[in-house]
């Protein structure tokens, strides 16, 4: 009986992992379709010159279609969407310093979990405080360049692990296998590298600053690795 329960639980975990992968794929595909349809609507209503000259394209389009009230409504909807995205970014991003602290690679206080809400409150507040410091350090365009540059380095490295782990750890359970392997991950890594190189070429100052910020963490990493306490 116990063996059946263990096998059933293991099967449920594998199904959950597979469904999560499929949900991410279909969710991303849906967002791509929505963005494409939205951009088609922008260019159907507005001229290319109007699109290029507007900082709020959606509001400009709705102003043409439904007047100022329509523009105000879509602006409010955009603000709600932005706040929701920021909320998700802070809550999910805080798991990074939390996990590092749990593994002994960051300040131990970041691993504290709120007894009542069961959330990594210190990590969330710490990430929020760092976000406020970064916001005051440059313009929106500069910050965007920092983030995009660093993000695509991480995206490429993450996808490359699919190729590495397939070779080094073929024994790992894989409830979902990458569609089009190995062509799809190889193409993604190549495109990520192209985007990083393009950012270095077109925005060298911001890109190099992003690299400096990344490498500035290495001394801290080596320090914590040397004095690392066993993970809890």
The reported pLDDT for the residue numbered 229 is 61
142: left (phi over 0), alpha (psi -120 to 50) or beta: alpha
The reported pLDDT for the residue numbered 164 is 92
Instruction: Determine the Cα–Cα distance for residues 190 and 152; give it in Å rounded to an integer.
Output: 11
The reported pLDDT for the residue numbered 4 is 46
**Positions in the chain short of pLDDT 50:** 1-4, 6, 231
Please calculate the CA angle 48-53-58 and round it to the nearest 5 degrees. Answer: 80
Instruction: Determine the Cα–Cα distance for residues 121 and 127; give it in Å rounded to an integer.
Output: 10
The reported pLDDT for the residue numbered 105 is 86
- The owner of tokens 């001394």 is 219
Q: Is the peptide bond before 78 cis (omega within 30 degrees of 0)?
A: no
The reported pLDDT for the residue numbered 83 is 86
Q: Is the peptide bond before 182 cis (omega within 30 degrees of 0)?
A: yes
Q: Write down the domain spans for the chain.
A: 27-82, 94-137, 139-232
The reported pLDDT for the residue numbered 6 is 47
């Amino acid at each position: 009986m116990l063996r059946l329960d263990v096998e059933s639980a293991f099967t449920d975990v594998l199904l959950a992992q597979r469904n999560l992968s499929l949900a991410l794929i279909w969710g991303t595909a849906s967002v791509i379709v929505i963005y494409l349809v939205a951009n088609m609507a922008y260019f159907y209503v507005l001229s290319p010159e109007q699109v290029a000259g507007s900082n709020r394209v959606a509001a400009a389009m709705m102003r043409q279609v439904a007047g100022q009230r329509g523009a105000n409504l879509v602006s409010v909807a955009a603000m709600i969407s932005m706040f929701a995205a920021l909320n998700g970014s802070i809550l999910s991003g805080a798991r990074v310093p939390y996990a590092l602290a749990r593994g002994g690679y960051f300040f131990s206080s970041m691993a504290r979990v709120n007894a009542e809400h069961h959330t990594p409150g210190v990590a969330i507040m710490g990430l929020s405080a760092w976000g406020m410091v970064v916001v005051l350090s440059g313009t929106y365009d500069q910050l965007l360049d920092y983030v995009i540059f660093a993000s695509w380095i991480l995206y490429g490295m993450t996808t490359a692990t699919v190729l590495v782990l397939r070779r080094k750890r073929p024994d790992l359970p894989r409830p979902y296998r990458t569609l089009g392997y190995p062509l799809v991950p190889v193409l993604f890594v190549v495109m990520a590298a192209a985007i990083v190189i393009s950012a270095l070429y077109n925005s060298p100052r911001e890109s190099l600053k992003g690299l400096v910020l990344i490498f500035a963490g290495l001394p801290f990493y080596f320090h914590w690795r040397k004095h690392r306490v066993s993970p809890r």
